[in-house]
Amino acid sequence: METPRLPPSTRAFQKFTKDTRRMLIGKGRAQADVTSKRFTPGPINALPPEILGEIFLASLGKIFPVHDDDSIPPLQFCRVCTYWQQTALSTPGLWTRLLINRSDVTQEINVMSKRFSSAGKLPLSLRIENGPHPSSFPLFRVPLQYMGRIHNLEFSVLRIEEAVRQLNIIVDHGTALERLVVQYNQSTSWSNAPSLLPLPRLHKLKRLVLSNLQSDRHSYDGSLDNMPWNQLTHLSMVDVPIMPLMLMAFLRRCPHLQHGFFALSNLLHPTNQWTTLLHGDTVFPSMISLKVVFKYAGEWGILDGLSFPSLKTLCLGSTSELSTWNSTTSATLHTPLLRNLILFKIRIQYPDLIEFLKTKASLRVLVLDSPLEFSPLFEKLSHIGENIFLPNLIRLSIYHWRLRKNRPCKIDVRALGQMIHARWYPRSTKPRPVRSPLSSVSLRMSSVPPYLIGIKLRSSLVAQGLFLHIGSAENGYSLKKEVDW
Distance CA 229, CA 244 (A): 18
**pLDDT for 94:** 92
- pLDDT band of 193, cuts 50, 70, 90: very low
Minimum mean pLDDT range among 190-194, 358-362, 405-409? 190-194
State the Cα–Cα distance between residues 423 and 339, nearest whole angstrom.
Answer: 18
> Over the stretch 95-126, which tens digit does the pLDDT of each residue have?
999 888 766 555 666 777 778 888 989 999 98
pLDDT of residue 217: 39
* 314-348 burial: b if 16+ Cβ within 10 Å, else e: bbbbbbeebbbbbeebbeebbbeebbbbbbbbbbb
Neighbours of 285 (CB within 10 A): 12
Residues in a beta bridge with 262? 237, 292
| Cis, bond preceding 431 (omega within 30 deg of 0) | yes
* Residue 35 burial class via C-beta count within 10 angstroms: exposed 0-12, middle 13-18, buried 19 and up: exposed
Q: For residues 303 and 249, which has the higher predicted lDDT (pLDDT)? A: 303
Interhelix angle 413-423/375-382, rounded to 10 degrees, is: 30
Q: Do 294 and 317 contact (CB within 8 A), yes or no?
A: yes
Other CB atoms within 10 Å distance of the CB of residue 417: 16
The torsion region of residue 212 among left (phi > 0), alpha (psi -120 to 50) and beta comes to left
pLDDT tens for residues 406-439? 666 778 888 998 999 899 998 888 888 888 999 9
The alpha carbon of residue 124 and the mean position of all alpha carbons in its chain are separated, in whole angstroms, by 20
Residue 266 has pLDDT above 70, yes or no: no
pLDDT of residue 278: 55
Of 202-206, 287-291, 373-377, give the range with the top mean pLDDT.
Answer: 287-291
What pLDDT was estimated at residue 65? 83
pLDDT mean over 274-280: 54
First-to-final CA distance of the chain: 102
Longest pairwise C-alpha distance within the chain: 131
- What's phi and psi for 15, nearest 5 deg? -65, -40
pLDDT at site 243 = 78
Higher pLDDT, 34 or 367: 367
409 in Cβ contact with 373 (< 8 Å): yes
Q: What is the pLDDT of residue 365?
A: 98
Amino acid code (one letter) for 461: L
Mean pLDDT, the chain, whole residue set: 82
- Taking the CA atoms of residue 170, residue 173, residue 174 and residue 175 in that order, the dihedral angle to the nearest 10 degrees is 40
d(CA 312, CA 260): 12
If one counts every other C-beta atom within 10 angstroms of the C-beta of residue 396, the result is: 24
Rounded to an integer, what distance in angstroms lies between the CA atom of residue 483 and that of residue 208? Answer: 11
- How many CA atoms lie less than 13 Å away from 407 in the CB half-sphere? 5
Q: Please, which pLDDT band fits residue 262 given cuts at 50, 70 and 90?
A: very high
Q: How far is CA 368 from CA 345, 351, 388, 421, 446, in A?
A: 9, 15, 20, 21, 15
**Per-residue confidence band for 171, with pLDDT thresholds at 50, 70 and 90:** confident
Question: For the stretch 382-395, what's the b/e string if a residue is b when 16 or more beta carbons lie within 10 angstroms of its beta carbon?
Answer: beeeeebbbeebbb
Quick one: average pLDDT of 450-470? 75
Q: pLDDT tens across 35-57, in order?
A: 665 555 678 888 899 999 999 99
User: Which has more confidence, 234 or 140?
Assistant: 234
Confidence (pLDDT) at 26 = 81
Q: Which domains does the chain have, with CATH numbers?
A: 44-95 (no CATH), 101-472 (3.80.10)
Which range of 66-75, 235-244, 283-292 scores highest in mean pLDDT? It is 283-292
User: CA–CA separation, 329 vs 303, rounded Å?
Assistant: 6
436: buried, middle or exposed (CB in 10 Å: 19+, 13-18, 0-12)?
Answer: middle
Residue 347 pLDDT more than 90?
yes
Burial 247-267 (b: 16+ CB within 10 A, else e): bbbbbbbbeebbbbbbbbbee
Write the DSSP assignment of 389-438 as a string of letters. SSTT--EEEEE--SEETTEE----HHHHHHHHHHH---TT-SSPPSSPP-
User: Worst-scoring range by mean pLDDT, 26-35, 59-68, 232-241?
Assistant: 26-35
Radius of gyration over alpha carbons of the chain, in Å?
A: 32
In this prediction, residue 219 carries a pLDDT of: 42
The pLDDT tens digits for 123-149 are: 999 888 876 555 545 566 777 778 888
